[in-house]
Chain A
Amino acid sequence: MNTRNKEQTVPQENDNLLEVRHLKKYFPIRSSFFRQVTGYVKAVDDISFTIKRGTTMGLVGESGCGKSTVGRTLLRLYPKTSGEVLFNGRDIFKMSKKELRQFRPRIQIIFQDPYSSLSPRLPVGEIIGEAVREHNIVPPEEYDDYITRVMKACGLQEYHKERYPHEFSGGQRQRICIARALALNPEFIVCDEPVSALDVSIQAQIINLLKRLQKQFNLTYLFISHDLSVVEHISDTVGVMYLGSMVEYAPTEKVFAKPLHPYTEALFSAIPVPDPDYKMERIVLEGSIPSPANPPAGCKFHTRCRKYMEVCKYAAPVWKEVEPGHFCACHLYDSETERAEAERQAEAAKAEAENSKAV
């Protein structure tokens, strides 16, 4: 663990519902024959953020940058490699299996694909209500009415209970998924690209449904998406990920008004503007995203960055609060001392690289 991590600061407020600290998730790469570990895919590499109760955090990034892995790891669907996830101050990864099972209803997830996330052989009422019964969310005598109410709240009709998932459209299925998550009375819902599989009109319905539910039931969302306009619409804060690391984190207005990181800049320049006269200044990123199994040294983005400097090649940038509430990891915003420190590190790394080349 280097000094950069120690210095890292996290927004601290009393009302934080979820706190993610230095979360890492590496997937081992095994050789095909003896199943020996030959390397790791660093899907989530040292990520920290907090989400306040009743707010939505958007998590954006291009495909394969580890957004979904963050969402699933903090649900403990995958074992973590290191770091901690505090929910209301309790570490999810320190719970026993029994505790975890009782805790499960408090955090729910809505998946991207509404087709594969519903068991095809169960009627909708059973899909929504199965876990409600399992966890005794409501008294048994109120069970039926409760399911009906949850369904109505999610825009489903009571008679849908007896139907099977194959009889529904994508939007309705996503409503069923939302109802399934809502029925467990969760405080926090991970929305793992919930609208990307739907067409635009339905997307709006679902987004508005989510917003309405949040308002009504004081829900907290982690909204994972690569659709920036959706994120802008729903999120209170936005985190931008690149290759397993968070590069920028700030309240939505700040990020959209003035993106700091060159990657964020490039990303946001791709947002279509519904105005035919508007001349887009698109920043085109060259090359493709590097392999997360073998990320570049120094700043991970330096291979594609427009503004990269010599120091970016060797020294990883520090995560810091550039403006109040606006975090970023880029050498462009280094202070004098930081710049000196980074250059010193870069020199050392360069020397080391030359040594190893000589050997």
Chain B
Amino acid sequence: MAERDLNEMLKEMESKSRLHAEGGVDHLDDTQRVKVLSPGRLVFKRFIRNRLAIVGSCILIFMFVFCFIGPIFYPYEQTDKFYKTDILENADYAAAQKRTEYSIIKVDESVSVHYSVTNMMNYYINEMKKTGDDIMLVKSDSGEKYLVQYQADNVYTLNVSNLNRIGVHASELLICEFDMLTQTLTYSEGIVMDEAFGEMAKTAAMDNLDKFVYDGKTYAVENTGRKKYAVKYYADSGIQYIAENPGGGFEDAVLAAITEGEKTFEFGGSRYLLDQAAPGAYDIYKFAIGDILFVCSTYSVDILSGAAVPADFVKAALIGYCRGGAFSYNGIDYVISEEIENRDTVVNIYRLGETKNPYARFTTFSVSRHSGSGDLTIEFKEDVRRKIEEMIEQGKSVDTLITKVEKQASDGSVMVDEDGNVIYEDTKVTITRKGDNYTITCDRFRYLIDRYAPPFSEVSTDVHILGTDGDGFDIFARIMYGGRISLMVGFVVVIIETILGIIMGGISGYFGGWVDTLIMRLVEIFYCIPSLPIMIIIGAYLDAEQVNPYIRLIWLMAVLGFLGWASVARLVRGQILSLREQEFMLATEVEGLRVSRRIFRHLIPNVMPQLIVTATAGLGSVILLESTLSFLGLGVKHPLATWGTMINSVSDYNSMVNYTYIWIPVGLLICLTVIAFNFVGDGLRDAFDPKMKS
């Protein structure tokens, strides 16, 4: 071919024409003065003339500034919890209990006592209280005998019994029992009679006689019911001595004790004990008190300084009390003395040498803090105890008293003077009885989560413009942070949708053929996918996996974007199909431009206007969808705020009616944002379409 250079030829022409034009006057060219507007600038010009679109844009700009820049200047975070102090009327302060159950303290851990005795201790003590005895013989199921001894009020001991059986006194002796149904004759323990007696007893019972005579002695037969008969021998047989007879008049003393129902009696300077072995039969023991095995007491110990009482100290004090009133604990010696104080007998424990101020005191009351921790003063405990005893006397179940309770600062903390001592003040305290337990209540300051604070409420130094929600979070802060997520989700989802849609639609429209068919069928499948059930399944899966809320957010955006590209792809494909046949696309082919350049420089810019319009309109719907999903609990999770979750927090009727300040602002913001996006979308559509009348 003939090589020729167009450029050189043009240059030549230019120089020639310049020679011609030399000295010629440039004529005015009006077109040169017309301002040049690119298509984008034209669209912008038309857009800013649309009043609604400008309103929409202003709202959106406000939203973005509010949500993305606002939080920087707002003092609270979305998850800052706010607290308030409040006077809690009749807050539980302490609990008191009058101890009536005797607790058993083992003196020697190595000695074992049969459980039938230890379990029955409270019963034995109550029996002794009823009869007024100071001593009681108890037998275990395994046959051992023990003595329960009264030591002081509320203090009993279980002792080893050093019994000396002196004799048996019987006034009525059960010989045998006869059961007419089985024809059996059962002899009482220790009684042996011959067969003739048995026969006589049987016949007497059968003949319904009330007595018979055998071997010169008269025996009585008594019907004890149900065809059972008891054969008894009445005889004042006196005392059969096993040991040496203590002396004359002893029998009278025994009889006197039996007739008076006494279990113990004194004779000749010694104590004796009657034990009813069988009806009318008594074993007579001379006894001596043996070693103490258990101490049983309803006492606990209050240390007067208010310090906590170790269990070992109580044990040592009680054992010491039983052994004469002195004990030592942790190397310090203590003395116990009973004193009269306000007409009550109190048992005080002194440290040896300190006789003025008692160190501790026995008490049947346990008074403790309701919270379980912290100490109470002895004055408070004493006041409460006295009041409760008064209540018991008067049969009241509720009563009040004035006593000293720690003074509280308004934030709920305990007030302290300069020396670090707790300040007390007189407070009205209410005692309520519930069985053996007493609840002590008084008005206290409490530090609480500031839930559902109304707008502009001021608690201490925090001011909440829109109040707080059910978790004590500041609503205004949450609206801003929630808006961030809602707007971000909207944008990211739309960007994902658009990118996927451009790629898929672009491939489909530009290449056509089987690729187009494949992608369009895929688009149809995506149109058929029900997105809500899929979101519910994914939400459930993410719940089960306990995914971090931020990762959950990414998932949400990815899934929403992935489900939404189909409509964009369809739009892009349609546009590209029509653009592809336009002559300027043929021209690019003739010019030999690369495929990528043809797509990205010629096709995509021509699709962009429609894309921008649909994307803007889509933003609003994505924000709504995100709110819906969050409302259903599938989207972003607590404590991350989004507008949807905020409305969800007042989803029941009661809170919706009572806490309107939570959902109305959020609802308004959602409405405004969606409307604004629609305004802008409409404005862009009109601006891109020059045929529309303004």
Contact = CB atoms under 8 A, between A and B. Distances in A.
Contacts of A75: 590
Nearest to A131: B591
A185 interface: yes
B592 A217 contact: no
B590 A120 contact: no
Contacts of B582: 116-117
Nearest to A153: B10
Contacts of B29: 157
Contacts of A109: 586-587, 590
Contacts of B195: none
B578 to A, nearest CB: 11
Contact of A134 (B586, B587, B592): B592
Contacts of A105: 591-592
B587 A111 contact: yes
Interface string B583-610: 1101111111110010001100110000
A68 B496 CA distance: 43
Contacts of B654: none
Contacts of A103: 592
B606 A117 contact: no
Given A107-B590, A119-B606, A159 B32 contact: yes
A134 B36 contact: no
B584 A130 contact: no
B584 A119 contact: yes
Classify the secondary structure of B's interface with A: helix
A273 B5 CA distance: 42
Nearest to A138: B7
A120 B582 CA distance: 11
B54 to A, nearest CB: 25
Contacts of B14: 149, 152
Nearest to A152: B14
Contacts of A180: 587, 591
A299 interface: no
Nearest to A158: B32
A163 B602 CA distance: 17
Interface residues of A, number: 53
A167 B602 CA distance: 18
Interface in A128-187: 130-131, 134-135, 137-138, 142, 146, 149-150, 152-153, 157, 159, 162-164, 166-167, 177, 180, 182, 184-185, 187
B602 A119 contact: yes
A109 B586 CA distance: 9
Nearest to A101: B592
A53 B2 CA distance: 10
Contact of B6 (A134, A159, A177, A217): A217
B24 interface: no
Contacts of A111: 583, 586-587
Nearest to A186: B6
A108 B590 CA distance: 6
Interface size on B, as a range, is: 35 or more
A344 to B, nearest CB: 46
A167 to B, nearest CB: 8
B384 to A, nearest CB: 90
Interface in B19-39: 29, 31-32, 36-39
B7 A134 contact: no
Interface in A77-112: 77, 88, 100-105, 107-109, 111-112
B583 A182 contact: no
B601 A185 contact: no
Interface string A236-253: 000000000000000000
Nearest to B585: A119
B591 A120 contact: no
B592 A135 contact: yes
A159 B32 CA distance: 7
A122 to B, nearest CB: 7
B217 interface: no
A46 interface: no
Nearest to B5: A185
B593 A166 contact: no
B340 interface: no
Given A149-B11, A153-B13, A118 B592 contact: no
A216 interface: yes
A117 B7 CA distance: 25
B10 A164 contact: no
B9 interface: yes
A117 B584 contact: yes
A130 B584 CA distance: 13
B4 interface: yes
A164 B38 contact: yes
A134 B593 contact: yes
Contact of A122 (B6, B32, B601): B601
17 contacts: A75-B590, A104-B592, A105-B591, A111-B587, A113-B583, A116-B584, A117-B583, A119-B602, A121-B39, A130-B593, A135-B592, A146-B7, A157-B31, A159-B36, A164-B39, A185-B7, A217-B9
Interface of B: 1-2, 4-7, 9-11, 13-14, 29, 31-32, 36-39, 582-584, 586-594, 597, 601-602, 605-606
Given A117-B583, A149-B14, A164-B38, 19 more contacts: A53-B2, A77-B586, A101-B594, A102-B592, A108-B590, A111-B583, A111-B587, A116-B582, A119-B588, A122-B602, A130-B597, A130-B601, A134-B593, A137-B6, A149-B10, A157-B32, A185-B6, A217-B6, A218-B4
